[in-house]
Amino acid sequence: MSDNLNLPRRKALKKIGAGMALGASGLLSAPAFAQNKPLKIGVIAPRGGIAGTAGEGGIRAMEWSVAKLNAMNGIGGRKIELVIQEETSPKETIDRYRKLVLQDRVDAVHGVISSGVSLALAPAAEQSQMLTLLWDGTTQDGVKEMMPNPKYVFRAIDNEVDAVMSSLLAIRHFKGSMVRVAGINADYTYGRNTWTTFTAILKKFGIAHEVVTEQWVKVGTMDLTSNVATLKTAKPDVIFTSMLFADLPVFMRQAHNVGLTENCKFVMPAAGWQQTAMKKEFTPEGVVFGHSTMYFDNPAASPLQKEFVRWYADKYKDYPHWESDRAYFCLQLYKAGVERALAAKSGSWPSSIEIAMAMPGLKVESLGGPASMRADHIANQLIFQGLTTHKNAYDFPTLASVETMSTEQIQKPAGADFWQWLESTKFKV
């Protein structure tokens, strides 16, 4: 859990490591030697900027999980040590990734939230043969070009899955009153893809509708009054927004303040990241609200999730969102992979490729529920969404009832192209 090593320590450790290798070669057997050396996991996550809160959520979950694992002998008998690096732009993050690989010599890298960074990182990971588990950042475009057949890189569920589920829920609950449809989304690949997903699904189910306006917002902008005014003029019945950064609560507040929330329904697949900032004062009831792979207040939550939420609320006076689940899932998956590979090697520590080959097909218990890794290195998890309610003890809305879907139903299968699959597959509302 310590932050990165600095130069003198690194040199000292090198000497110690060399000495240990000499000593171990003749006298000690491999597992005992390995147990002396901590298992270093590099973590790359944003700590500031627009995705800072997301990164914090993931890092905190990792720290909690690592503390619990280390109290019980770590992974495969080795204590876990986290080396945390900040995720910023692709160019800078690649340099830090190389630092983790070459200088800190970590055993695996977890993290990454932005799609741009993951697209730059994945080829680097494959080339460095470094086992890399991505928490997020899985928007479709460019994936095929950059990550054709990953061996070392494992990805989270497709980002568009949340939009698929929200669209289905919107049809189920708002059918009949979805004539005038508007969208306000962040002006980047994720925003565009989710909006296209929504309109494609509406068309698929033959919902007669008219797109009255499409707003494209610069990511992270804090003044949406002009966009809100334009939306109000268009008089929509339903507004779809996949905004998920600090701009979402700003939008909601400004929309409420001009009365847009009175007669309009909202569909917000990714609002869970901002759940505690979406105060009851301006976030209406009865809107589709997505929490992706973890909903902190799920009555059907496992004891594990409840314990985590309690710990998080006590320590940080806040409630965790799904990034915590993604981080936890990757750590559990990694642990399971290591254990499976260890068993196959009966004693000696497995190499990265051996662990990587052990991970597909594994099922683990994540915070949000059961989760698994597909053969094509994409995860399968449960998604939690629902309509909002104000009947709770918090100052922000929660879900009136939780609807759960599995990515096995709403995520593209291995090898498929997202857009072709979207068009051809049959969904159940």
State the amino acid at position 173 in one-letter form. H
Residue from 2, 7, 314, 428 binding another protein (CB under 8 A): 7
Residue linked to tokens 């160019």 = 91
Among 39, 43, 85, 319, binds another protein (CB under 8 A): 85
Which residue lies nearer to another protein by CB, 25 or 127? Answer: 127
Q: Which is nearer to another protein, 98 or 363 (CB)?
A: 98
Q: Which of 131, 405 has the CB closer to another protein?
A: 131
H and E: helices and strands count for the chain: 16, 15
Long-range contacts of 379-382 (CB under 8 A, 24+ apart): 379/154, 379/155, 379/156, 379/157, 379/329, 379/333, 379/407, 380/157, 380/406, 380/407, 380/408, 380/411, 381/157, 381/293, 381/325, 381/329, 381/406, 381/407, 382/293, 382/406, 382/407
Minimum gap (Å) between residue 48 Cβ and another protein: 5
Around 298, how many Cα atoms within 13 Å sit in the side-chain half-sphere? 31
Residue 316 CA to chain centroid, in angstroms? 20
Q: Is residue 151 a contact residue for another protein (CB under 8 A)?
A: no
Among 19, 148, 177, 223, binds another protein (CB under 8 A): 223
Query: Does residue 180 bind another protein (CB under 8 A)?
Result: no
Q: What tokens does 67 get?
A: 């503390």
**What three-state secondary structure class fits 404?**
strand
Nearer Cβ to another protein (28/94): 94
Measured from the CB of residue 56, what is the shortest distance to another protein in angstroms? 6
The DSSP letter of residue 130 is -
User: Among residues 37 and 232, whose Cβ is nearest to another protein?
Assistant: 232
Q: Which of 228, 330, 336, 359 binds another protein (CB under 8 A)?
A: 228
- φ and ψ at 427, to 5 degrees? -100, 155
- Positions in 44-63 near another protein (CB under 8 A): 46-50, 52-53, 55-56
Q: How far is the CB of 161 from another protein (least distance, A)?
A: 18
Does 139 interact with another protein (rule: CB under 8 A)? Answer: yes
The answer to whether the CB of 287 falls within 8 A of the CB of 266 is yes
Helix orientation angle between 189-204 and 160-174, rounded to the nearest 10 degrees? 40
Distance CA 269, CA 167 (A): 8
Among 145, 176, 391, 393, binds another protein (CB under 8 A): 145
Listed ranges 30-38, 213-221, 363-371, 379-387: which one lies at the site for another protein (CB under 8 A):
213-221
Report the residue number, 230 or 406, with the smaller CB distance to another protein.
230
Q: Which is nearer to another protein, 77 or 116 (CB)?
A: 116
d(CA 314, CA 276): 15
Q: Which of 32, 68, 73, 91 binds another protein (CB under 8 A)?
A: 91
Residues with Cβ within 8 Å of 254's Cβ and at least 6 positions away in sequence, in order, are: 224, 225, 228
Is 254 among the residues that bind another protein (CB under 8 A)? yes
CB of 224 to another protein, least distance (A): 8
The answer to the question of residue 144 lying near another protein (CB under 8 A) is no
Contact 97, 121 (CB under 8 A): yes
Q: Residue 73 or 233: which CB sits closer to another protein? A: 233
**Residue 211 contacts another protein per CB under 8 A:** no
Q: What is the CA radius of gyration of the chain?
A: 22
Regarding 226 and contact with another protein (CB under 8 A), the answer is yes
| Least distance CB 230 / another protein (angstroms) | 5
Applying the rule CB under 8 A, the residues between 281 and 310 that interact with another protein are 281-282
